[in-house]
Amino acid sequence: MVTMEKIVSLCKRRGFIAPSSEIYGGFESCYDYGFLGALLKNNIKQNWWKTMTQYRDDIVGVDASILMSPKVWQASGHLTAGFADPLVECINCHKRFRKDHLKDKDRCPDCGHEPLGKERKFNLMMKTFIGPVEDEAAVTYLRGETCQGIYMNYQFMRDAMRMKVPFGIAQIGKAFRNEITPRYFIFKTREFEQMEMQYFVEPDEKEKKKLFDYWKKERMKWYLGLGVKKENLRFREHQKDELAHYAKKAVDIEYKFPWGWDEIEGIHDRGDWDLSNHSKHSGQDLSYFDEQTKNKFIPHIIETSAGADRAVLTFLVEAYDEVKGGRTETTESKKESEVVLRLNKELAPIKVTILPLVKNKKDLVKKAKEVYGLLKFHWMCQYDEVGSIGRRYRRGDEIAVPFVITIDFDSLKNDDVTVRDRDTMKQERIKIKELVDYLREKLGE
Ligand code: ATP
C-alpha cells in the first residue's frame, strides 16, 4: 500500500524532491525539486499549458509579475478578513492551530488543555518591502494567487489579442501564503505553484450554456486522461457557509490521498466580483461591449485553479506500485517487493535509458553511447552502465522510465537493440535506424 513515507523516501532517494536548505536542517516546510522532480513538474505544466492554450482557440496565456501594486490586493479583498484563517494558540503549550480544522473546538489536540486560547484572524498574505526603506509606504506583497495577475492583463489581452467573450486567460506561476498549518509534504506549503485559468463570460450565456459544468467536466477529464483512476477522483461542492468571499459557487476536485480525500483543484464561479472591484478601485472601465448585441456588461468569471505541486503529488501517489516478490524477468530479483512508478509516458521525467549489456566491453560501450547520442536530441534520455542489467532495469522502473534500450553482442553484428517496455516488461528487437520512429509512435507523438 502506498504511504506518504514511501513517497517521501522515493522522492529523496531518486532525486525528485528534498527539503529546502537541507544542510541547515530544512526551512519552514519549503521543498526543492531535484532534476527528476523538476522534469516531472515541467511535463505536467507543459501538458496543462498545451491543453489550455495550444489546443483551443478561445484561451491565451500570460506570465505576470509576482510583485504587483498593493492596490490590487486592497481591491481584491486580500488585505482584509476575506483572506484570513482563524488561528488559535493553546494557552498551555503555545502550539498553534487552524480553528476550523479542529475536531474539538475548545480542547488542545496536542496537550489536551482546555480551554484553548482566543481565536484571531490571521492574514495569509506575505509582506515584503520594495526599495531600501522599510516603511509602510514601501510595503507590498508576494502574490497570494496567480489569478490577480490575470485580471491585471484582462484588458491588455482582450484588446491586443482581439479576444471575444467567452474567452479565457491562463497562467502558471508561483503563489505565496503564510499558511498556519503547512502539511503533507508538498501538499500544503507556503510557496507553491498554481495553474489557473479565468474564463470571461456574458452572465446569461454562462447559465444558458452551463459553462460552469462544462469546465468541471473538462478539468476532471484532464486528470483522467493522464492516468488517474476514476475511483480516486471526485467532486465536492462547497456549502454556502464555506464559500470564499468572491465565490458564487465552488466545486473542488478531490483526490484520494493516503491520508484521505483532499482538494487538488477548485472550480469557482466568481460572478462579476473581480472586474467590478478592479473597475471601482482603479477608475478604469473594465466592462465589455458586445458589437453584435450592443450589450455592455461586466463579464462573469469561471475560474479553474489547480496546484502544480498538488498535481505532482497526485500523479506520484497514483503511479506508485509495488510488485510483491519482485519482477520476474531476472533471476536475481528475490526482493520482497520492487517499486515501479507507472507514470503516464508523457509525464515521465526520463523517457529512455540506454545501457550496454556489460561495461567492460569497449565495443558495446561505444555503440551504446552512439545510440544515446542519437536519442538525446529527441527526448530526455539517460545512459547507465553501473551494476547488473537487472539492477539497471529496477532503477529505471523506480523513476518511471518507459523504455530501456540494451545494446548486446548481437547489436554489434546486426545494428539493432532490444527495447524493454516498463509496464509489460516485454522486449522487442528494433533496428537502430528505426528507433526514433518506433519510440515516437510508442510515446504517442
Ligand atoms: P486549501 O483549502 O487546501 O487551503 P484553498 O481552497 O485555499 O486550499 P484555493 O485558494 O482554491 O485553495 O487555491 C486553488 C488551488 O491552489 C488549490 O486547489 C491547490 O491545488 C493550490 N493551493 C492552494 N494553497 C496551496 C498551498 N498552500 N500549497 C500548495 N498548493 C496550494
Q: End-to-end CA distance of the chain, in Å? A: 33
String of b and e for 104-139 (b: at least 16 CB within 10 Å)? eeeebeeeeeeebbeeeebbbbbeeeeeeeeeeeee
CA of 422 to the centre of ligand 1 (A): 34
Q: Is the pLDDT of residue 136 over 90?
A: no
In 298-360, alpha helices (H)? 308-319
Q: Is the pLDDT of residue 94 over 90?
A: no
Residue with the larger pLDDT of the pair 163 and 247: 163
Nearest atom in ligand 1 to 177's CA: 27
Span of 32-36, 279-283, 336-340 with lowest mean pLDDT: 336-340
| Residue of 87, 263, 312, 313 best suited for mutating to test ligand 1, as the one with most atoms within 8 Å of CB | 263
Q: Are 357 and 409 in contact (CB under 8 A)?
A: yes
- In this structure, which residue's CA is closest to atom 26 in ligand 1? 188
**Considering just the CA atoms, what is the radius of gyration of the chain in Å?**
26
Q: Is the pLDDT of residue 331 over 70?
A: no
Residue with the larger pLDDT of the pair 77 and 4: 4
Residue with the larger pLDDT of the pair 339 and 335: 339
Q: Is the pLDDT of residue 329 over 80?
A: no
CB count, 10 Å around CB of 303? Answer: 22
The pLDDT assigned to 333 comes to 54
Helix pair 35-49, 308-319: axis angle to 10 deg: 110
Which residues sit with their C-beta closer than 6 Å to ligand 1? 177, 179, 188-189, 192, 194, 263-266, 305-307, 309-310
Measure Cα distances from 381 to 47, 351, 388, 402 in Å: 19, 6, 19, 11
CA of 405 to the centre of ligand 1 (A): 41
- DSSP-derived secondary structure letter, 169: E
CB count, 10 Å around CB of 160? Answer: 10
Mean pLDDT of 292-320: 97
CA of 307 to the centre of ligand 1 (A): 7
Q: Is the pLDDT of residue 63 over 60?
A: yes
DSSP letters, 128-158, are EE-SS--SGGGEEEE-S-THHHHHTTHHHHH
Which pLDDT tens digit goes with each residue over 96-105? 888 887 877 7
What is the overall mean pLDDT for the chain?
A: 94
CA of 130 to the centre of ligand 1 (A): 26
Q: State the Cα–Cα distance between residues 397 and 343, nearest whole angstrom.
A: 10
Measure Cα distances from 248 to 76, 77, 263 in Å: 15, 15, 18
DSSP letters, 348-407, are -S--EEEEES-TT-HHHHHHHHHHHHHHTTTS-EEE--SS-HHHHHHHHHHTT-SEEEEE
Nearest atom in ligand 1 to 250's CA: 11
Q: State the Cα–Cα distance between residues 325 and 372, nearest whole angstrom.
A: 32
Q: Is the pLDDT of residue 332 over 80?
A: no
Mean pLDDT of 210-234: 98
Span of 29-43, 71-85, 415-429 with lowest mean pLDDT: 71-85
Cell of 205: 450565456
Mean pLDDT of 211-239: 97
CA of 265 to the centre of ligand 1 (A): 7
Distance of CA 4 to the CA centre of its chain: 17
Question: Reduced to 3 states, what is the DSSP secondary structure of residue 250?
Answer: strand
The pLDDT assigned to 328 comes to 66
pLDDT band per the 50, 70, 90 thresholds, residue 431 = very high
Mean pLDDT of 295-320: 98
Give me the residue label for grid cell 498538488.
Answer: 310
Q: Is the pLDDT of residue 336 over 80?
A: no
- In this structure, which residue's CA is closest to atom 9 in ligand 1? 266
Q: State the Cα–Cα distance between residues 347 and 235, nearest whole angstrom.
A: 24
Measure Cα distances from 100 to 97, 190, 301 in Å: 9, 19, 28
pLDDT band per the 50, 70, 90 thresholds, residue 326 = confident
| Residue of 101, 181, 184, 194 best suited for mutating to test ligand 1, as the one with most atoms within 8 Å of CB | 194
CA of 184 to the centre of ligand 1 (A): 13
| Residue of 192, 220, 259, 274 best suited for mutating to test ligand 1, as the one with most atoms within 8 Å of CB | 192
Nearest atom in ligand 1 to 310's CA: 20
Mean pLDDT of 47-76: 97
Mean pLDDT of 213-233: 98
Q: State the Cα–Cα distance between residues 137 and 321, nearest whole angstrom.
A: 54
Nearest atom in ligand 1 to 179's CA: 27
Question: Reduced to 3 states, what is the DSSP secondary structure of residue 264?
Answer: strand
Question: Reduced to 3 states, what is the DSSP secondary structure of residue 59?
Answer: strand
| H or E stretch at 39 | helix 35-49
The pLDDT assigned to 334 comes to 62
Nearest atom in ligand 1 to 194's CA: 16
CA of 314 to the centre of ligand 1 (A): 14
Q: State the Cα–Cα distance between residues 339 and 406, nearest whole angstrom.
A: 21
| Residue of 48, 188, 264 best suited for mutating to test ligand 1, as the one with most atoms within 8 Å of CB | 188
Nearest atom in ligand 1 to 305's CA: 14
Give me the residue label for grid cell 528534498.
Answer: 18
- In this structure, which residue's CA is closest to atom 28 in ligand 1? 188
431 has which bridge partners?
416
| H or E stretch at 88 | strand 84-89
